Structure 1
Amino acid sequence: MTAHEATTTRLAPHAKSLSSAMIRPLLPAIGLGLKLASLDYGTMRWTLERTPPAVTDRLSRERALETARHAARRVPAYRQLLEAQAIDPARIRSLAELPETDKAGYIDRWSLPDRCLDGRLPLRGTTIDESSGSTGTPYNWARGEAERKHVRRMISFFARYTFGDRPLVVLNAFSMGAWATGMTTAIALEGNGLVKATGPQIDKILGTMRQLGTAYRYLIVGYPPFLKLLLDEGEAIGHPWADYDMHALLGGESNSEALRDYLLRRFRSVFSGYGATDVEIGLAAETPVCIGLRRLAAARPEIATALFGESGRSPMIFQYNPLLHHVETNDKGELLFTVTRHATLSPKVRYNVHDEGGVIRDDELRRRLAAFDIGLEDLVPGEKRMVRMPYLYVFGRKDSTVSVMGANIYPADIEAGIYADAALAEQVLSFRLAIREERPGETRPLIDIQLARGDGSPALTDALAAAIARQLASQNADYQEAMKEYPALLVPVVELHARGTGPFAGDADRIKH
């Protein structure tokens, strides 16, 4: 079974009876109902706890199709994309009839205004988020006022679901500025308590906690390795972590269960969120059952295979709201996202961020676990009622892009660094980009390099590491910003391997990374 095959599900008989012709006239009313429900946490939770997965799945697909038709009517770039492929949006009956979109095939081909509703970039009520690109040129992503409010509300709801109703003192340790995660998170969590945007400044975080004292519940939000660094630095100077009621919200990159366990020595709970700047912040979130499921799959390879199609890798697992986002996989096992709200300024239809993973519906997950005599409730003892949202599992970037301290590092960055010096390039056959977790929470970019000949030398290792670091520092905007705050963790580790050895065993003729 492949990862893609593992995501397929059967519709329940009553779901099959919900034809498109029956649902389509109801979509405006459904949309209004969802808009009203999204304004209230209790109503939204009630809806997601009680609606059968087969129903939300069908509604999700129909809303995605209607979003595509809406984009074809209102967005010049998307209309031209369909026209170029002779696709009549009025006649489509399946999402598979529509093209995928991504940076290379859609974003790079049309201007930002052409990708917006009515071909206009409003100068009022619009913000621009920024993310780096593999060429070193940042991408700009436009957000309208309505969608920003919605995203913030959903992040706030997630925090309430996982961390409870009691007020929090939120210390936002994400980097601020044009990067989306920091600013969005800071504003979103104002509804959950007092918020201070400290940025990734350890002295500011510790100073704030000393001043406010131990009477509060603290939620510290940031990149996974930074929170580990925060604990270590605090312990080194005798900060009394044990006196504080602390919780952690992680984002920006994946985290291992080893890191979660490390953080849980001081934090009462640790959860993570999933998003993509080019689609939306807050696409999905870890819930208690997600963590239990991930730990179960890591301990039982046969269960990992049944769920994800393989047992060799441990994906992050999240839940998402199918009434707001439609997620599917292509035949390469890559995730495709459609934001199904018409208020989105720059609609995304079947957008491919090139993350590898899949989707499992709640009822399908229960069926697969039942084969091992396991119930979902067994994974979260004491949970009164779980939301019946689908599960999103994410292995990571299909193209081997890695993220360290919020900085995306692309294979193209590494290739450019190596090939900037002909004398170095001629000694390299191929490379692989990965993450090394030297200790829980201490991650660094790792570049394994397969040599064309010989075993290499310390001098060659140093020369390649320096060339790659220069390229990253000069061309990668994410890396430049992260280096200001985490210089020790951003220095790339380079390891040399003789041809056909180490991670390249049996792969000696492969030229690309």
Structure 2
Amino acid sequence: MKHPLQIIPEDFKNPIKLDRLLKTKPESYWSSRGERRVLDLFHLMAKRVPAYKDFLKKNKINHLLVKNISDFKKVPPVDKNNYLRVYPLEALCWDGEFDSKRWTVAVNSGSTGEPFYFPREIGQDRQYGLCAELYLRNNFEIHKKSTLYIDTWAMGAWIGGLFTYEALRLLAERGKYKLSIIAPGIVKDEIFKAVKSLGHKFDQVIIGGYPPFVKDILDEGETLGINWKKNNIKLIFSAESFSEEFRDYVYERAGIRDTYKGSLNHYGTADMGTMAHETPLSVYIRRVARDNLKIHNRLFVERKVPTLTQYIPELFYFEEVNAVLYCSGYSGLPFVRYDLKDWGGVISLASLAKIFKEENIDLSRETRKVGINNTVWNLPFVYVYERVDFSVKLYGAVIFPDSVRHALQTKRFSAGVTGKFTMYVDFDDKQDQFLVVNVELKKGVAKTIEFERMLQTEIVERLKTENSEYFSNYRSQPERQTPRVVLWDYESPEFFRPGIKQKWVKK
């Protein structure tokens, strides 16, 4: 008889008790539990997931010889290319069972327009529900306030909108919270109607969505006469990073006064769901790092301040290998040492506190001073910059170079462009996102506005055809999704220096 899988540890099932333990048990306690559980996961997968069993065999790994976390870290990582795309979907599931289960399936974009489907069961919804309940209590006090949660992530085959809805519904029922949910997705008119008609009936309104989209809602709502400050707005973000200047901007728009508890950002993927999230402590640390160069340089590897989150190692076990993040967890498709292709790192709370102390900042005293000492969890941090693969994010949609490349390779443009380009996402003075595509002209070809517009139209059509997330966003707000095409003379040094490998994406 198969031993039932325990997606959520038994003693995690009482969120109130768990919250208390996260604040009182030392970080080492949680790290040790995480190590034990990830080893158990590894051995279970070696026996009960056909694809992983074969993967280990091909790599000459005897799982019985993996006895501790040091042995575990020598196991080869898996990714889409060496694992997910090699085996049939059923082989990636527990006991090779797919068609006999009850799944909710999410999709993410592929680099060639070929999507990958990630199934999950109710266990993953409950796991996210547990994490969401912890932060909704810790940040927003949903146990004390009646709350309207407006789910503005895209509804449909993508993970954000439906995953959030299911988790909220489960936690609201389990905890008997005064929590109501409305899920208009990315339909702005319905969002505005919900705020106008329902917002004043609740103690607070939480808006969850992609950062640039939430900003658009706040900006446009104000022009329609919505007084956000009367609705006690709180914000939850996901799918991409943002600066603290962005946070300040949306706070001013929404009238949010609590710098550290007024919003949070998730770190999650379609592959594994929601893995980590910001806490009041991580927001505080991020803002200190922005203003204190010494601390920033000791914490992070890049000049840009990354998304900084905390995680429970027993639910998602993170590793940093050469500044790339691996994660293991009981996701819909279970993963061990899964290469997320995200550039970032892992840092313990103890190490972070030591760095602050050496820079003459007492973390305990400062958290008391800013009023977040009663929210601090003794958990490690994971920080993330960007994906290390060739992609950018625009309003939550992952944009790959292949779609742009296909547009430039259209026969009618072959006489005018070399096929080289560099794309990136930038922000204007109002903190609105936009996609820039820099295109190299062939030698002797002159820049014209007409040619620029033709390329722009073709790129949009290709993205709409090959990227379902982009197409969904485009239908809602075409002007924000239309890229700015910039034409450059042949071999312009800014982006097209001769003799070096072309950089398709600028981070």
- Into which bin does the TM-score normalised by the smaller protein fall? 0.7 to 0.9
Q: How far has the Cα of 1:249 moved from its partner? A: 0.8
Residue 69 of structure 1 and its aligned partner are, at CA, apart by 1.2
What amino acid does structure 2 have at the position aligned with 1:291?
V
Distance in 2, matches of 1:456 and 1:160, equals 60
Moved more, 453-462 or 294-303: 453-462
Shift of the 111–169 alpha-carbon distance from structure 1 to 2, 3 Å rule, reads same
Q: Are 1:205 and 2:188 matched, yes or no?
A: no
Three-state SS of the structure 2 residue aligned to 1:349 is strand
Distance 1:480 1:202, change over 3 A: closer
In 2, the alpha carbon distance for the partners of 1:117 and 1:33 equals 12
Residue in 2 that maps onto 1:180: 159
Residue in structure 2 matching 1:355, options 338, 342, 347: 342
Unaligned segments of structure 1, at least 5 residues: 1-27
Corresponding residue for residue 50 of structure 2: 76
Change (3 A) 1:144 1:32: closer
Is the CA contact 1:444–1:490 (under 8 Å) kept in the aligned structure 2? yes
User: What SS does the corresponding residue of 1:444 show, helix, strand or coil?
Assistant: strand
| Residue 382 (structure 1) aligned with residue 367 (structure 2) | no
Q: 1:315-352 CA distances to partner (integer Å, 9 max, x unpaired)?
A: 11111111211101222x2111101x4xx552111111
**Cα distance in 1 for residues equivalent to 2:337 and 2:163:** 24
For 1:455 and 1:44, locate their aligned partners in 2 and report how far apart those are by CA, in whole Å: 65
Give the match for residue 13 of structure 1. none
Match of 1:263 among 228, 238, 250: 250
| Residues 304, 431 of structure 1: alpha-carbon distance in 2 compared, 3 angstrom cutoff | farther
Which residue is equivalent to 1:295?
Answer: 287
**One of 343, 368, 371 as aligned partner of 2:358:** 371
Q: Percent identity?
A: 26
> Is contact 2:356-2:362 (8 Å) kept?
yes
Is residue 2:372 matched to residue 1:406? no
Partner of 2:259: none
1:466 shift after superposition: 2.7
Shift of 1:374: 1.5
Using a 3 Å threshold, how does the CA distance of structure 1 residues 105 and 124 change in structure 2: closer, same or farther? closer
How many aligned residue pairs are there? 478
Of 104, 108, 115, the residue aligned with 2:92 is: 115
**2:76 aligned to which of 96, 99, 102:** 99
Alpha carbons of structure 1 residues 455 and 392: separation in structure 2 relative to 1, 3 Å: farther
Equivalent pair of 1:117/1:345 in contact (CA under 8 Å) = no
1:123-142 equivalent positions in 2, closer than 5 A: 123-142=100-119
Distance (whole Å) between structure 1 residues aligned to residue 445 and residue 146 of structure 2: 58
The C-alpha deviation readout for 1:359-400, integer Å capped at 9, x for no partner, is 110001111122211233425612233101111111011124
SS at match of 2:233: strand
Q: What's the CA shift for 1:499?
A: 5.8
Q: Please give the alpha-carbon distance, in whole angstroms, between the structure 2 residues aligned to 1:355 and 1:318.
A: 14
TM-score (normalised: structure 1): 0.87
Q: 1:367 to 1:430 in 2, by over 3 A?
A: farther
Q: CA, structure 1 residues 239+33, in 2 after alignment: closer, same or farther (shift >3 Å)?
A: closer
The Cα of 1:158 is off from its aligned counterpart by 2.0
Distance in 1 (alpha carbons) for counterparts of 2:498 and 2:362? 41
TM normalised by structure 2 equals: 0.88
1:504 aligned counterpart, secondary structure: coil
**Preserved contact between residue 224 and residue 441 of structure 1 (Cα < 8 Å):** no
Once residues 129 and 489 of structure 1 are traced to their aligned partners in structure 2, the CA distance between those partners, rounded to angstroms, is 25
Summarize deviations over 1:241-294 as a string: whole Å, max 9, x none.
2221111111122222222111101142222111000112x2111111212222
Query: Which one scores higher on RCO, CA 8 angstroms, separation ≥ 6?
Result: 1
Residue of structure 1 in register with 2:321 after alignment:
330
Tell me, in whole angstroms, the C-alpha distance in 1 between the residues paired with 2:194 and 2:93. Answer: 41
Mapped pair 1:511 → 2:485: no
Q: Residues 258 and 440 of structure 1 are in contact (CA less than 8 Å); yes or no, is this contact kept in structure 2?
A: no
